Amino acid sequence: MNDVAFKSWVDVPAQSDFSIYNLPYGIFSSPQHSKRIGVAIGNEVLDLAKVQELGFLDEFKLAKGFFEAEFLNDFIALGKSLTSAIRQKLTQLLSKEETELVKHSKKVLLPQSEVKMHLPVKIGDYTDFYSSIEHATNVGTMFRDPENALLPNWRHLPVGYHGRASSIVISGTEIRRPWGQSKADDAEMPTFQPCRLLDFELEMAFVVGKSTQLGERITTSQAEEYIFGMVLFNDWSARDIQKWEYVPLGPFLAKSFASSISPWLVPLEALEPFRVSGPAQEPEVLDYLKSEGLKNYDIQLEVGLKPEGGEEKIISKSNFKYMYWNMCQQLAHHSVNGCNFNVGDMCASGTISGKEPSSYGSMLELTWRGTKPITMPDGTERRFIQDRDTLTLRGFAEKEGIRVGFGEVSGKILPAE
């Protein structure tokens, strides 16, 4: 663990997600500058293009204007040995002992409140997993025989499906309620109408940091070399559309209309102090899925629901450590058939639910298919998400006074067109 006395010359509020131990990367623009790479520190954004221009990163011999980029992909593609060295240099430049960069603080720092954030990476492909045993059990109990809630394959492999990368949007993007086919249980024919059972899914996602060739496999022991960092992920879901369409190939229109991510990409190195063991896996997994060491992360998560003009209510508190299948197993399974990966590809965890009802990661579970509505501060009830509601996910890890957070990902639901 790092020395908790390590401080920055930048003012970092006590409960800030963006301590000097974090230094997540993002893409921002301002009235003065087009898109470029920044690092979050406290309530500020460190403009890496300006830091390079002033000569503080000359030792890395990067092309002029390297950080004036629309996405982080080229930076990530430098490789972990180089990006880790740059991160160490930034930590040094931002430390309390630094004297030179401080003189240029007005040039290199911008308030986060004055910049616009953009998608951090160009996402070529996106895969969504289904890796919380509590979530899978809850859904199986609701829709199938409770005695056989988990399908036969679930404990043997990380179930996943290929999603739609084009509809992944940055936090703050408004989401239009989708249309689709659905069919009531007592109806003879389906109807075409706006989604009635709109839901969120509390997830996290990792960004692939190293490309592979077609036919190449990634082992669980190699997987962390291929994971650059993580974001918060809200996989919006149209439950009534999904129920009708998912047999036999799984979700399609019910998921592809939108997924929202947080703007700051937290490097895996920043999460090192928060490693924990995962749940026991029974029966024993096949050899290619066996992993050693602490592969889960203690990341506290919460979900807030806010009606338009009303007060937000925290409706769920969960934790990423609950995941049955860890990221290394997900990546090893995904590549075991030789599927190739590119820098910037994104893999989401699937809904993160704990054992307690207060830790469930979707409205489907929190209200148990709408039978247990949530009472809001204004007295209204929510079975699923209503028009003009804003849904916000937050996440952070904290240990021995050190906090590394993800900020938030939020989205407001607009009425169907």
The C-alpha atoms of residue 325 and residue 159 are separated, in whole angstroms, by: 9
Between CA 158 and CA 178 the distance in angstroms is 28
Distance CA 316, CA 335 (A): 33
* Structure tokens that stand for 200 in this block: 């969120």
Q: Which amino acid is at 159?
A: V
Pairing of strands 275-276, 168-170: unpaired
Residues of the chain with pLDDT under 50: 1-4
Which tens digits make up the pLDDT trace of 166-215?
999 999 999 999 999 999 999 999 999 999 999 999 999 999 999 999 99
| Termini Cα distance of the chain | 52
- The whole-model pTM stands at 0.97
Q: Catalytic residue positions?
A: 135
Q: What does the block give as tokens for 7?
A: 């401080």
Q: Say what the pLDDT of residue 5 is.
A: 63
Domain boundaries along the sequence of the chain: 25-118, 126-414
Domain 25-118: give its CATH superfamily: Fumarylacetoacetase, N-terminal domain (2.30.30.230)
CA 262 – CA 412 distance, rounded (Å): 14
Own/partner pairs for 45-51, CB < 8 Å, 24+ apart?
45/109, 45/110, 45/111, 45/112, 45/115, 46/90, 46/94, 46/108, 46/109, 47/107, 47/108, 47/109, 47/110, 50/104, 50/107, 50/108, 51/90, 51/93, 51/101, 51/108
CA distance 186 to 276: 47
CA–CA gap between residue 93 and residue 100 (Å, rounded): 8
DSSP state letter for 329: H
Query: Domain 126-414 has what CATH class?
Result: alpha beta
